[in-house]
Every structure is written in C-alpha cells, then in structure tokens.
Amino acid sequence: MFGGGNKIKIEKDLLERIKQISEVAGYASHEEFIMHVLEKELAQFEESDSDDDITEKLRGLGYIS
C-alpha cells in the first residue's frame, strides 16, 4: 500500500496512537487506516465547486487564517 519508495514521516507518539486506534477499529493494518483517513479528508475537498470553497473549508478547519 505504501510501496514504490513513497515515505511519510510521522511522529512516534502519533504513530503509536494510529496503530492503537487502527487495531481497535478493525483495520488490517495501520497503513490501511491512514489511507482511509486521508481518502475521507480529500473527498471533502474534492467535492468543492471552486478554489474559494476549498479555501473557506481550510480556514474553517484552522489550517489557514
């Protein structure tokens, strides 16, 4: 799933939380859980009609001011 040389650095504490939650939630692996969360978040932005909608969503989430 994460093959092909793509790597993402995740802080150790966060990775441990991800592993715990993914196991409890029944995911086959923590990688599968990460992919699901990322796909879910991306879908919210891909449904936007314009760049302005995306900007407003990011602002509402506190990513930009």
Q: pLDDT tens-digit profile of 12-39?
A: 999 999 999 999 999 999 999 999 999 9
Q: What is the DSSP letter of 61?
A: T
Rounded CA separation 35/29 (Å): 10
Angle at 41 between CA 46 and CA 29, to 5 degrees: 130
Query: What whole-number distance in Å separates Cα of residue 43 and Cα of residue 31?
Result: 18
- C-alpha 29/C-alpha 40 separation (Å) is 17
pTM of the model: 0.66
| Per-residue pLDDT band at 65 (split at 50, 70, 90) | confident
Spatial separation of the C-alpha atoms in residues 5 and 11, rounded to whole Å:
19
